[in-house]
Structure 1
Amino acid sequence: MASRFSALRPASDTFLRRESVADPAALRSRSFLSSTIDTCTYALDAHKEAAVKYQVLGPVAALSDDCRIPLQQKSQVLLAVLVLERGRPVPRQRLMEIIWDEPDPVDRETRLIRIVSELRQRLRTANPEVADPLPDMGDAYRLVMHPEEADAHRFRAKAAKAKTLDGEAAIRMMTQALAEWAEGHGLYGRPLAGLRSTWADSNRKKLQDEHRDAHLFRLERIARDGGHEQVAEECRVLDDDAESLLDESFVAMWMITAYRTGGSDTPLSVFRRAEERFRRSLDRPVSQPLAELARRIEAHDPELAGSHGSALARLQLSRPGGIHRITSITTRAKETTTMGEQADRPVFDNNNSVIGAQAGEFKEKVVINLGGVSQVADSGQAGQPEDDRNDTDGRAS
């Protein structure tokens, strides 16, 4: 397709040569056509191997021929902000606040101009086809890029696509999405690695939550297809993060799938480790529903060994330091309900059980379906991807 746009240039030149070279209108037309053809060709060429790739789902980097372009840390911060903004202009004032993260450093306007100039020169050297990769928009700068050139945007596009699919197709697409991340960094990943600032911290948390959600989405669907052993093993591998055992969704998924493939020893060991981590890190016990799940595993409750796939126990807020509100433990597609909501639903059959719990961290009673009934399809997972605008106000968007 790009070659078709390129093929238009000789035809446009032939057409315009019919006009006088001195004709200003002809010159403007030729300039406009040439610019349009270049823009369309460059946009379509984004589907080919990009001359420069941008990485933020790990150490921040610009890569040319898979080789890292050397960048100072301030340049890395500037690049990360512009990459996550997907080519949108970012005001100079906000860039200065993000990069220095301190009140009125000396000569920061001059220093920003120097950092922009250095980054522009390195990117231009790596990709001479782009005359100015960091155009000055007056009171703002932007990065000339296409979303496909950045790992974060490729990940988000594939993750959003996976949530519109079913079965094996959803698993494959989410696996491709997670492949955009640097490997070996547990449930949450290490985005924006090495950057330390208010902006970096807030956007790191947003990206980490997206990484965690993608993993749990994928593992849940593998479990639904009966791949309990695979899920239990992948949970073991993901447990290389200090925060993973503070995520009750992750812990519950690991416990249930491990129980269904190897008995009670492993899931109870996981539970005891989670208990200890909660006490040491948050100075509080695990939630009552998770403790009840451990009790049922220890009692070898036959309803936990059903043939249906075990879905994750999703927590609305699952990062350390927050309240862990369970929104789902189940064997099919289900969301947690309040006691009042459950009263309006059909009574579960003999293949299901309900746990009601009310603990200090919950504002309302919750019901957790550990059986195999498919009640409510996962909400918020189909349709358009969430706004991936990075937080230029210092708060995770």
Structure 2
Amino acid sequence: MRFEVLGPVRVCHDDGELPVPPKPRALLAVLLAARGKPVTVERLLAELWPDGAPSTATATLQMHVSALRKVVGDRVGTAPSGYRLDLAGASFDAAEFEQSRSLDLWRGEAYEGVAAGPSVAAAGARLTELRLNARQEWAQRALTEGRHVEAATELAGWVAEQPTAEGLVRHLMVALYRSGRAGDALRAYDRTAAALDELGARPGPELDALAAAVRRQDPTLDRPANGVPARRNRFIGRRAELDRVIDLLGTARLLTIVGPGGAGKTRLSLELAREVASDHDTVHVVELAEHREGPLAIRLAAAAGIREEPGTPLLDTVTRQLGGRVLVVLDNCEHVRAEAAELAHTLLAACPGLRLVATSREQLGLSGEVIFGLGGLATPAPGSTDPHSDAVRLLADRVAAARGGAGLAPAEQAVAAELCRRLDGLPLAIELAAARLRALPLSEIVSRLDRRLDVLTGTSPVARHQTMRAAIDWGYDLLDVPQQELLRRLGVFAGGFDLAAATEVAGGDPLDPLTQLVDRSMVEWRDGRYRMTETIREYARERLGPVERAAAFLALTNYWTTKLKAPPPVDGPAHTEWLATIGADHDTIVAAVDWSLHEGDPAEGLAIAAAMWWYWWVAGRMAEGLGWLGRALDRSAEPTALRAKALRAAAALARNSGDLAEARRLGEEGLATFRTLDDRTGMIAALNNLLITAQAQEDYPASLAFGQEALELAEAAGDARMIAAASNNTAGTLRCMGRLDEAEPLFTRALDGFRALNDRRGEAAALTNLSTTHRRRGRYEPARSTMREALAIYTELGIAEGQLDAVEGLAQLAVLEGSAVDGLRLLVLAERERSALGAPSFTPDEIADRDDAEARARAALSPAEVALAFRAASATSLAEAVAELL
């Protein structure tokens, strides 16, 4: 039996709705509002006759109870001084809605058509409020997922029912705006304002602010698109071009947008990606402007969050993981055209659901490639002042931004049209010109630009490029000498930078000239960092003379050599901040390495590369790190402590990539170098490194020898950190050999040592190892608590590999204690995440334990239960699993 109140009150059975007379229906509504609790006769009389019960009401109530029992049977039971409705075993749509929040359950207004008293009214009001909340939640999801047209259609009906529900109105306005219906969004606001006015109220500040944002076309209202960078400002014009490239992409798998520098190829490609993002499962934007050496697959993997897998070419890993409908944007391909064409060819052949958009100054030259040529924005015809042309609209918008809201004056329209024509409508040139209007009249800008354009006319696509250079030349000439010098030196950065780095490169306090460069749109300030557009950065580098270039790069190299001397911090927040800082500056750091290796001191490049190994490992960019370390080692053959340190770093990356033989070779060369130099500290670190590699190779005698020597040297030197590390690693080898009695005290010693040093990562590693030892000895409860403690620390530090070690340990405990389904689910989840991270287990006994646990779980389960575990793993993220286990 089913009871329904989300609309007219009904009782339904398998055969359909059961007829209930009006008064018994009202009685049913009161009992349903009580949710199975007793309702006294006095209360029922007040509910059914809210204006006052007649003298015969008690007898009449008994008649209504009898009539209701004929429909629902003995579910209507007597209770002390009253009656109650038994809902056990029945379905109730109000309860289902509260559980599921499904709006499909509603058929009208709550308790519709029932004339009953305050308890029913209160229950109906509560359900109506819950429905409003559910509608707002649905609308937010739809907008987040890009279903703007669907949201607008659904919300329009809901707002018609509740015109003063401002939360729904806000969602409707956003949905309409993102559907290209800004006027309808404002009309929705006006209707709500009118409805509120009839009640003597006015719209709240949030609704007013949204209406103002719609009127000014605030870029923060634009449709979000996962994987596509947010807009920095409004996208003006290009509607025809955008519609055309959308159509072309709909019938092609490779679209290349070609045009001169400054034409807006990147911006158009991002707008294209934003418009079609909802048609794809994922969007990946791959910036190639700063790519120097190595395969382009490294950039694609980084953009897509794909980590390399040991023994598998990175491109194979990438193509295997780019499943479903994927859009990839390869931006700025001109300097790596051949490599970009090869990558595009491979991706299109291996990934049938993939579409690719490339931007370049020339086509890639592949079969099936569709070319879209992009020039400047539409400009007014000669002699015309058309304010609606795209170029003039862009200029007017940027002028308003530069002048604090004051746009072009009517008297400036003719000069504005001439300026846009002279700049060939190139967007970046127009932006630079608009920025100058803070200090110069428009006519002066045209005259200054005129003198340069006369020299640079007469060539075709190159002319547009030279026009761009003329615009930058002119902007550069407006700078004073300190600003010019700073701009040139800032060209050494390969991405964003902060004030400290700019100070080092400038050789003095750059704040005043840097602020002026930001004001003049030569440098951008965004999200706490400075950056230059690629075109201006190239220009700045070209302006650097040989002596000034060497000085700027030397300062940059010294800055990063000094900054990276300190090892990565071991506590959680500081470690996370360090990773974020290095990630943001990665391209500049490798630019410093590249300059050092080719033009500066190779030893400086080696020092930076050796210090970067930890970032490359944690970030899953081990192949890239090995490449830079290899090039640096090739140019620094002298047997120095720095070379030995770099060999140790390369050995660690090789081991974690799965190449154990190369890791052993590099590690032994590093150890030999440290021995030659009699560098005891370096010897200890190299021995620890080799200990782990030999352990992974199951060369236990060598591993023990390395570990015992490391421990002896560390104890002799009184090096507490290396004593703890050597104890932990040597104990791991003993545990692999089954010598648990000897391993456990060493693990405990390592744990105490790491805790004394507040080394959280070392502490977590020792806890994980102790937990494994407890489990091997059948001590399941301490094994569980210790592993959970390790998991909490790894989660605090943001080290995914450590989290997976802990998840697998807890999964094995679950299997041993009879929870085979849950244990198998966690093991499958961990295997999936390891594959995605490119972080395989390489400790032999841990691999054996994991395989044994999976075999036990499968043997204990039926095929259906195994399938259930796999489905549950697929539906669970690592973060969810960690939260569950903690």
TM range (shorter): 0.5 to 0.7
Indicate the residue corresponding to 2:97 in structure 1: 155
For residues 221-279 of structure 1, the C-alpha deviation after alignment (integer angstroms, 9 at most, x for no partner) is 222222222212211232341xx220111111111121112141110111111122112
For residues 307-353 of structure 1, the C-alpha deviation after alignment (integer angstroms, 9 at most, x for no partner) is 269xxxxxxxxxxxxxxxxxxxxxxxxxxxxxxxxxxxxxxx968xx
**2:38 touches 2:84 (CA, 8 Å); kept in 1?**
yes
Indicate the residue corresponding to 2:64 in structure 1: 115
> Any idea what SS the aligned residue of 2:105 has?
coil
**1:134 touches 1:141 (CA, 8 Å); kept in 2?**
yes
Indicate the residue corresponding to 1:258 in structure 2: 176
Q: Which structure carries more helix by proportion?
A: 2
Alpha-carbon distance between aligned partners in 1 of 2:61 and 2:212, rounded to the nearest angstrom: 58
Indicate the residue corresponding to 1:370 in structure 2: none
For 1:196, which of 115, 122, 134 is the aligned residue?
115
Alpha-carbon distance between aligned partners in 1 of 2:89 and 2:150, rounded to the nearest angstrom: 33
Deviation for aligned residue 1:123: 2.1
Indicate the residue corresponding to 2:558 in structure 1: none
Indicate the residue corresponding to 1:142 in structure 2: 84
For 1:291, which of 198, 208, 215 is the aligned residue?
208
> Any idea what SS the aligned residue of 1:245 has?
coil
Indicate the residue corresponding to 2:2 in structure 1: 53
**2:10 touches 2:17 (CA, 8 Å); kept in 1?**
yes
Letter in 2 for 1:181: W
For residues 17-48 of structure 1, the C-alpha deviation after alignment (integer angstroms, 9 at most, x for no partner) is xxxxxxxxxxxxxxxxxxxxxxxxxxxxxxxx
Q: After superposition, where does 1:1-397 map in structure 2 within 5 Å? A: 52-124=1-73, 132-146=74-88, 148-159=90-101, 177-182=102-107, 189-199=108-118, 200-241=120-161, 244-280=162-198, 282-307=199-224
Alpha-carbon distance between aligned partners in 2 of 1:122 and 1:198, rounded to the nearest angstrom: 22
**1:58 touches 1:193 (CA, 8 Å); kept in 2?**
yes
Alpha-carbon distance between aligned partners in 1 of 2:89 and 2:29, rounded to the nearest angstrom: 13
Alpha-carbon distance between aligned partners in 2 of 1:219 and 1:61, rounded to the nearest angstrom: 29
Query: Kindly tell me: are residues 284 and 85 of structure 1, through their superposed partners in 2, closer, same or farther at Cα, counting changes over 3 Å?
Result: closer
**1:84 touches 1:152 (CA, 8 Å); kept in 2?**
no
**1:135 touches 1:143 (CA, 8 Å); kept in 2?**
yes
> Any idea what SS the aligned residue of 1:136 has?
strand
For residues 62-87 of structure 1, the C-alpha deviation after alignment (integer angstroms, 9 at most, x for no partner) is 12235332222221111112223332
For normalisation by structure 2, the TM-score amounts to 0.25
Query: Kindly tell me: are residues 225 and 60 of structure 1, through their superposed partners in 2, closer, same or farther at Cα, counting changes over 3 Å?
Result: same
**1:87 touches 1:142 (CA, 8 Å); kept in 2?**
yes
Query: Kindly tell me: are residues 227 and 91 of structure 1, through their superposed partners in 2, closer, same or farther at Cα, counting changes over 3 Å?
Result: same
**2:144 touches 2:224 (CA, 8 Å); kept in 1?**
no
**2:172 touches 2:185 (CA, 8 Å); kept in 1?**
yes
Alpha-carbon distance between aligned partners in 1 of 2:173 and 2:89, rounded to the nearest angstrom: 38
Letter in 2 for 1:284: A
Alpha-carbon distance between aligned partners in 1 of 2:217 and 2:71, rounded to the nearest angstrom: 62
Query: Kindly tell me: are residues 117 and 263 of structure 1, through their superposed partners in 2, closer, same or farther at Cα, counting changes over 3 Å?
Result: closer
Superposition RMSD in Å: 2.2
Deviation for aligned residue 1:147: 6.7
For normalisation by structure 1, the TM-score amounts to 0.53
Alpha-carbon distance between aligned partners in 2 of 1:197 and 1:229, rounded to the nearest angstrom: 40
Indicate the residue corresponding to 1:162 in structure 2: none
Alpha-carbon distance between aligned partners in 2 of 1:118 and 1:306, rounded to the nearest angstrom: 57
Indicate the residue corresponding to 2:433 in structure 1: none
For residues 79-98 of structure 1, the C-alpha deviation after alignment (integer angstroms, 9 at most, x for no partner) is 11222333222222211111
> Any idea what SS the aligned residue of 1:101 has?
coil
Alpha-carbon distance between aligned partners in 1 of 2:75 and 2:88, rounded to the nearest angstrom: 12
Percent sequence identity is 26
Where in structure 1 are there 5+ consecutive unaligned residues?
Answer: 1-51, 125-131, 160-176, 183-188, 310-348, 352-397
Larger mean Cα displacement after TM superposition, 248-257 or 294-303: 294-303
Letter in 2 for 1:221: R
Letter in 2 for 1:233: T
For residues 197-242 of structure 1, the C-alpha deviation after alignment (integer angstroms, 9 at most, x for no partner) is 432332221111111111111221222222222212211232341x
> Any idea what SS the aligned residue of 2:85 has?
coil
Letter in 2 for 1:274: T
**2:10 touches 2:18 (CA, 8 Å); kept in 1?**
yes
Deviation for aligned residue 1:190: 0.7
Higher relative contact order (CA closer than 8 Å, sequence separation 6+):
1
Alpha-carbon distance between aligned partners in 2 of 1:83 and 1:66, rounded to the nearest angstrom: 22
> Any idea what SS the aligned residue of 2:114 has?
coil
**2:4 touches 2:94 (CA, 8 Å); kept in 1?**
yes
> Any idea what SS the aligned residue of 2:75 has?
coil
**1:148 touches 1:154 (CA, 8 Å); kept in 2?**
no
Deviation for aligned residue 1:54: 1.0
For residues 282-328 of structure 1, the C-alpha deviation after alignment (integer angstroms, 9 at most, x for no partner) is 1232123312211221111222215269xxxxxxxxxxxxxxxxxxx
Indicate the residue corresponding to 2:491 in structure 1: none
Larger Rg: 2
Query: Kindly tell me: are residues 196 and 234 of structure 1, through their superposed partners in 2, closer, same or farther at Cα, counting changes over 3 Å?
Result: same
For residues 105-130 of structure 1, the C-alpha deviation after alignment (integer angstroms, 9 at most, x for no partner) is 22221111111111112223xxxxxx
> Any idea what SS the aligned residue of 2:54 has?
coil
Query: Kindly tell me: are residues 193 and 263 of structure 1, through their superposed partners in 2, closer, same or farther at Cα, counting changes over 3 Å?
Result: closer
Indicate the residue corresponding to 2:760 in structure 1: none
Query: Kindly tell me: are residues 110 and 223 of structure 1, through their superposed partners in 2, closer, same or farther at Cα, counting changes over 3 Å?
Result: same
> Any idea what SS the aligned residue of 1:294 has?
helix
> Any idea what SS the aligned residue of 1:232 has?
helix
| Count of aligned pairs | 228
**1:222 touches 1:231 (CA, 8 Å); kept in 2?**
yes
Query: Kindly tell me: are residues 198 and 87 of structure 1, through their superposed partners in 2, closer, same or farther at Cα, counting changes over 3 Å?
Result: closer
**1:147 touches 1:153 (CA, 8 Å); kept in 2?**
no
Query: Kindly tell me: are residues 218 and 306 of structure 1, through their superposed partners in 2, closer, same or farther at Cα, counting changes over 3 Å?
Result: closer
Where in structure 2 are there 5+ consecutive unaligned residues?
Answer: 227-524, 528-886
